């Protein structure tokens, strides 16, 4: 039998220390249980909320469309791809907006949730500024040969006849379909139309696109007669329109005969030519843009010289 020396006997534990240790252990256990309860409760609340969000209580009941006078509410509603019964919380509104903005008439669109079950889609539509002729066969068989176009060059819709309040572009748009962009030649004509309407009052002008994109416009004199103006390539259009405006302000268009064509292809030196013979009838001096500008008839002395 082994004998344990007295100095190695275990010392007795004070009952108060033992009780204190047990109290600490019990307190730690209670804290762990509380933490576990909080986590479980949070998970339960989250799960309940998620199940509620996916339940019929929070699904799509209706899609409200605002501002779609041209496109039509049904077309916009279908483009969103949002259907009644879908969960509101999982809707991809960004994709819906992108799809709506791809519609021909739509410039911008927004979409928002209105709880508990409504999606509101608001659109701002494009405004047509001109009509453009389209190639034979681009429209329906035997159908319209004109399309509405906005100031950004987006083709909007086919029409039977150009509306009289809109400017007209006689420049065949290839590959014409609603939602497409016009090509460079028609884009140049559209820019010219915009500048002409800003510079000259009166009825809307017309622009024809010739070979190589050369531009010719029809504008109106004060007496209501039309005047043809050659602009050539769609470059330096601001200078060319300024030259034409100066001619108008000095009465050159009103004084010219109906068969005269105004040529501003070189804006510093516009000329008046005979439409039938292409003969130059008169030139405008380089002093066009100041108060002393005048017209010189080719082969004669300047006006007012007395010769």
Cα 278 to Cα 44, 219, 273, distances in angstroms? 89, 19, 6
CA distance 268 to 52: 74
CA distance 21 to 40: 29
Q: Around Cβ 283, how many Cβ atoms within 10 Å?
A: 16
Contacts of residue 271, Cβ cutoff 8 Å, sequence gap at least 6 = 262, 263, 280, 281, 282, 283, 284
Q: Which CATH architecture has domain 128-297?
A: 3-Layer(aba) Sandwich (3.40)
Q: How does DSSP classify residue 233?
A: S
Q: Of 157, 170, 168, 224, which Cα lies nearest the Cα of 196? A: 168
Q: Of 131, 200, 191, 127, which Cα lies nearest the Cα of 167? A: 131
**pLDDT at site 89:** 84
**pLDDT at site 72:** 96
**pLDDT at site 18:** 66
**pLDDT at site 167:** 92
- Long-range contacts at 36-39 (CB < 8 A, ≥ 24 apart): none
CA distance 190 to 282: 29
Strands 62-66 and 118-125: parallel
**pLDDT at site 11:** 58
What is the CATH class of 59-125? Answer: alpha beta
**Fold match between 59-125 and 128-297?**
no
Q: Around Cβ 205, how many Cβ atoms within 10 Å?
A: 22
Q: Average pLDDT per run of 10 along the chain, which is 307 residues long?
A: 57 65 69 69 57 63 95 96 89 94 97 93 97 72 79 94 91 80 92 93 89 91 85 96 91 79 93 68 51 40 36
Q: How does DSSP classify residue 56?
A: G
Helix 73-80 × helix 93-101 angle, to 10°: 130
For the chain, what are the domain ranges?
A: 59-125, 128-297
Q: How does DSSP classify residue 258?
A: T
pTM over 0.85: no
């Amino acid at each position: 039998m082994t004998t344990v020396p007295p100095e190695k006997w275990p010392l007795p534990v004070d009952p108060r220390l033992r009780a204190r240790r047990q109290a600490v252990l019990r307190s730690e256990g209670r804290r762990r249980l509380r933490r576990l309860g909080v986590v479980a409760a949070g998970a339960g609340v989250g799960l309940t909320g998620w199940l509620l969000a996916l339940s019929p209580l929070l699904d799509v009941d209706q899609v409200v469309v605002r501002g779609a006078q041209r496109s039509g509410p049904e077309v916009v509603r279908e483009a969103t791809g949002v259907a009644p019964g879908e969960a509101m919380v999982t809707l991809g509104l960004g994709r819906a907006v992108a799809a709506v903005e791809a519609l021909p008439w739509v410039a911008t669109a927004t979409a928002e949730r209105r709880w508990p079950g409504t999606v509101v889609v608001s659109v701002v539509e494009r405004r047509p500024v001109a009509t453009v002729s389209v190639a034979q066969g681009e429209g329906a068989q035997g159908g319209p040969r004109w399309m509405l176009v906005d100031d950004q060059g987006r083709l909007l819709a086919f029409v039977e006849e150009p509306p009289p309040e809109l400017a007209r572009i006689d420049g065949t748009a290839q590959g014409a379909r609603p939602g497409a962009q016009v090509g460079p030649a028609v884009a140049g004509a559209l820019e010219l139309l915009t500048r002409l309407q800003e510079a000259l009052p009166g009825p809307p002008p017309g622009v024809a696109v010739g070979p190589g994109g050369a531009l010719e416009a029809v504008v109106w004199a004060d007496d209501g007669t039309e005047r043809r103006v050659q602009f050539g390539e769609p470059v330096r259009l601001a200078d060319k329109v300024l030259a034409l405006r100066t001619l108008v302000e000095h009465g050159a268009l009103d004084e010219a005969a109906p068969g005269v064509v105004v040529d501003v292809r070189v804006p510093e030196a516009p000329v008046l030519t005979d439409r039938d013979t292409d003969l130059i009838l008169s030139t405008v001096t380089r002093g066009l843009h100041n108060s002393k500008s005048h017209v010189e008839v080719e082969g004669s002395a300047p006006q007012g010289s007395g010769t």
